[in-house]
Structure 1
């Protein structure tokens, strides 16, 4: 950062806002606020990238699994083949099959209820597992603007303090400090806006996955019910 600051200073009076110079000239507290917001923004974009790649891969694996599931003749071999892959549909089916094998099947209604509970629990667990990192997006989206505002308020307070110290209220004295302070709010918004958009979008994807798994579980339970009625 010191090298960037030296280069910026050597260029003379900037004709446009220089983010590096604004950061380096800011008060230490404002610098801490900016640094925290920048790190949060980087982490937000890492979550956005990783979640996008992961959710796309999961959707493709679920498509392949469900297409093959209804065609297989040997369910045990098929489940063994998919074991270890990150496929929510396979884990929901495994929960239903485990309960099916454990049930005595003398009480048909009780068996149906236990099958439903087992697969519903697996669906809820899959949704929680996929969305566990989305809480950070929600936190940044709601908190980052206020953190940036705190940096702005602190910077403006420091600017007024400098006015009192120098006994000079000219724009040349006030403007730099206020610009540095407002830059903290800009960084806060830069971190918050993508986080809010990504959180809403990814929450919708999680809801879509849960709905998809629920349809798969309903179809599987209907298959189990037909087998129960045929016994």
Structure 2
């Protein structure tokens, strides 16, 4: 991030209450230590501002770095270059640089600000689906009975059979696991949502339900960045698109 960009970001979240995310010149390089230090350039120079009530769809060919960019925004990957700032109203400057944040700051942001939904469900084994979906609310201080009632309503809307609610999702079908994952990611009403192909394993009917839930979140004021594998869903949810291109020289050797 240039000095000018840093100065602008320093005031941006204070001056614009709608701004939830600012990414500037984000790049990501993976070093292959087992292959003589060769590196893969996954992402180069991506910039984006996202405000409340927007749904930005990341588009581009396979290898353009769409999922890598989302993981950098969430803090799963640390960006090699550039900067990522996310709104945090507990701070005087109203934002935190997640690309350089301490782990406890990242965890706090994930609890209160940033929700993430991927196409894969990664949870503690043997925990029932209803408990998994309710947990983000319980962790934020919601009464457990209320949280479970809200989780049940969301699972029902997503057509997860009631007979599965008290079972662990490890034995569910791919589509059922994904719907549990979506319910868990959306239930807390985070003001910033990152969605990495959440509808990839779903049939057309359930894709439409998820699109409705995303649109309702956006109407409530959530800022959303997502990747969607089918054009119909992209058209249903997007307020605008960000086109990514594959890096010109993805593999570099030393």
Indicate whether the TM-score tops 0.5: no
Larger Rg: 1
- TM (normalized to structure 1)? 0.23
**Which has the larger helix fraction?**
1
TM-score by length of 2: 0.21
